[in-house]
Amino acid sequence: MALVLHRLRSGLIYSQAFADYLESKHNIERLGHQGDVLHLDYVRCAQGDLGGQEWWQLTWLSGWQAPTEHRHQIGDVEVCILRQAMRGLKNRMLHFDGQNVVVKS
């Protein structure tokens, strides 16, 4: 099966598998999060004891706290990705491998 990729204007690349994962998570959890927006956060340590390690998380953020300029459309789901996380994800790819979300360089 071919890997279908998409790119946001900000430089973030994501696979269709990631968009499908995001939509599934959104559809399962949205009833408990009326007015909230999914929030994608990403941290990559450049140096120190944790240098080279990275973390991502997907949580819900109040729609009032999710600035319009940081909202992006991934597939059919609106996601808030703040500036620092977007910088870390620029020119990287988010992919769902069937069990885990992975960030690829």
Domain residue spans in the chain? 35-93
| Percent of the chain whose pLDDT exceeds 70 | 95
pLDDT of 44: 76
pLDDT tens for 47-88 read 777 667 788 899 999 999 999 999 999 999 999 999 999 998
Burial track 67-81 (b if 16+ CB lie within 10 A, e otherwise): eeebebebbebebbb
Is pLDDT of 1 > 80?
Answer: no
